[in-house]
Amino acid sequence: MTKDKKNSFEIAYEEALNLACNELIRKDVHSCCINAGAEVLSSSEKSFNIKITFLNKDVYVDIPEFVFSAGSSDPLHVWEKILILHYLSNARTIRMTNSLINYRQVRDGANYFPAFEKRSTKPFLNTFGTHPESMIRASQALGGEEVRQGDAGVKVTALPFVPVYFVIWKGDAEFPPSGNILFDSSIEKFLSAEDIAVLCQQIVFKMIKARGQ
């Protein structure tokens, strides 16, 4: 039974990856890459070799073969490939607004909010709420940098124009710690609410893992 479920997930991911590849290849790939902050290392007709920074690691993509590599880093998971492709496909001449929003304020975010809170906000707060200094250290594995938000905050640049802010407000004798995950309001131009939920869940997972190392 477990094996069947795993195969179903693998099939769904493979279909999503194929759709993302086809979506990008139908567009002006060179313009998408430039608008996304990716570097076009070489190109000829419809073939491209690009480099894009994703969660503090350089990812190389050969298009249209869609071969991904991340140097000496661990192999990319399929969800990482899908997010990168969605980001590239959506990239236009959009720049960050420096106006922060929460997940509920993202287009369609309210629909996914219960799952987002369960899989991202709560694990983040349960792990780092009483020890915000460990959040700052753990985020450094992803290129995180400390910011002046709440009582403790970090910014993780997931993709060139997609900063994600993790903020904690310390509790006291009466109230427990609270926290939030914030985004530049331009994020919904680059990623869907579902993509953002997947991204944040994985960032939180990676920070929790880094905290234990």
Going by C-alpha positions, the residue among 127, 211, 213, 210 that lies closest to residue 168 is 127
**Residues 9 and 50 occupy one common structural domain:** yes
Going by C-alpha positions, the residue among 187, 79, 206 that lies closest to residue 140 is 206
**Residues 75 and 12 occupy one common structural domain:** yes
**Residues 162 and 121 occupy one common structural domain:** yes
**Residues 151 and 182 occupy one common structural domain:** yes
* Number of structural domains the chain divides into: 2
pLDDT at 172: 77
Position 28, amino acid: D
Residue that finishes a domain, picked among 67, 90, 113: 90
pLDDT at 71: 77
Residue with token string 């983040």 = 124
**Residues 83 and 110 occupy one common structural domain:** no
**Residues 54 and 114 occupy one common structural domain:** no
**Residues 78 and 128 occupy one common structural domain:** no
3-state helix, strand, coil in the chain (%, to 5): 50, 25, 25
Terminal Cα distance for the chain, rounded: 34
State pLDDT tens for residues 63-107: 999 999 997 677 899 999 999 999 999 998 778 899 999 999 999
**Residues 65 and 151 occupy one common structural domain:** no
pLDDT at 45: 80
Radius of gyration of the chain, Cα coordinates, nearest whole angstrom: 18
> What pTM, to 2 d.p., does this model score?
0.91
Question: Cβ-count burial of 95 within 10 angstroms (0-12 exposed, 13-18 middle, 19+ buried)?
Answer: exposed
Residue that finishes a domain, picked among 90, 120, 146: 90
State pLDDT tens for residues 23-51: 999 999 999 999 999 999 999 888 999 99
Q: Using 50, 70 and 90 to split pLDDT, how confident is the model at 1?
A: very low
Count CB neighbours of 87 within 10 A: 26
User: For the packed helices 193-211 and 132-139, what is the interaxial angle rounded to 10 degrees?
Assistant: 100
* Residue range of the domain that includes 45: 2-90
Say whether pLDDT at 7 is over 80. Answer: no
